[in-house]
Amino acid sequence: MAQHRLWCAPSSASFPRPAQLSLRPGCRLFQTLALWDTVRTMTDTSIPSLLYRLVHAADWQAAAGAGAYRGAAHDLADGFVHMSTAEQVPGTAARYYQGLPDILLLTLDSARLHGEVKMEPSTGGKLYPHLYGDIPLEAVLAVEPLKLDSEGQLVVPYLRGV
C-alpha cells in the first residue's frame, strides 16, 4: 500500500498534486483538521460499551453488600455518578486519586447500568460519562486493585475502549 503525504501550500499557491501532499502544523489544512478533531472529541455523545469507575475499596465493599454502588459523597452532591472512558482513566486517576491507597478500578458494561448515561462537558470542556442512577453488581465486569508507583501515582493498566 502506498503512503500518502498531505502538503499545505501557501494560500496563494495553486492546488498541490496528490503525490506531494504533506501536513505542517502551521498550515490551514492542519489547523482545520486539528479543530475538527477537537470538535469531534467534544461532541461525540455516543456511549462506549465499556466504562470505568475508580472507587475506594471500602466504598466498594459497602456497595457489594447493598447490591449497587450509588456513588461517593461528591457524586451524591452532583446528582450523578462520575465515570470515565478508557482514555480518561489515567487523567482521572492522576487528578483525583494521586497518592491514595486501596483504589479499585471497576470495568462496567454500560448496557447494564441502572439509569441514563449522558456524555456531558467536564474538565477542559471534554465530555465525560455521567450516570444518573446507580451501578448494579451485574454491570461490573471486573474489579482490579490499583497499585501506587514510587512517586504515588496509580498504575493504570491498558484499557480498551469499545
CA distance 136 to 64: 9
Task: Write down the pLDDT at residue 15.
Answer: 43
**Position with higher pLDDT, 13 vs 140:** 140
Residue 162 has pLDDT above 60, yes or no: no
Task: Write down the pLDDT at residue 110.
Answer: 96
Residue 45 has pLDDT above 90, yes or no: no
Question: Cell 475508580 maps to which residue?
Answer: 54
Least confidently predicted of 26-30, 96-100, 122-126: 26-30
Nearest CA to 104 out of 56, 37, 68 is that of 56
Kind and range of the H or E element at 140? strand 140-148
Q: Which domains does the chain have, with CATH numbers?
A: 1-43 (no CATH), 50-155 (3.20.170.20)
- Rounded mean pLDDT of the chain? 81
Task: Write down the pLDDT at residue 20.
Answer: 43
Residue 11 has pLDDT above 50, yes or no: no
Q: What is the pTM of this model?
A: 0.71
Residue 80 has pLDDT above 90, yes or no: yes
- Per-residue pLDDT of 109-151, as tens digits, reads 999 999 999 999 987 889 999 999 999 999 999 999 999 999 8
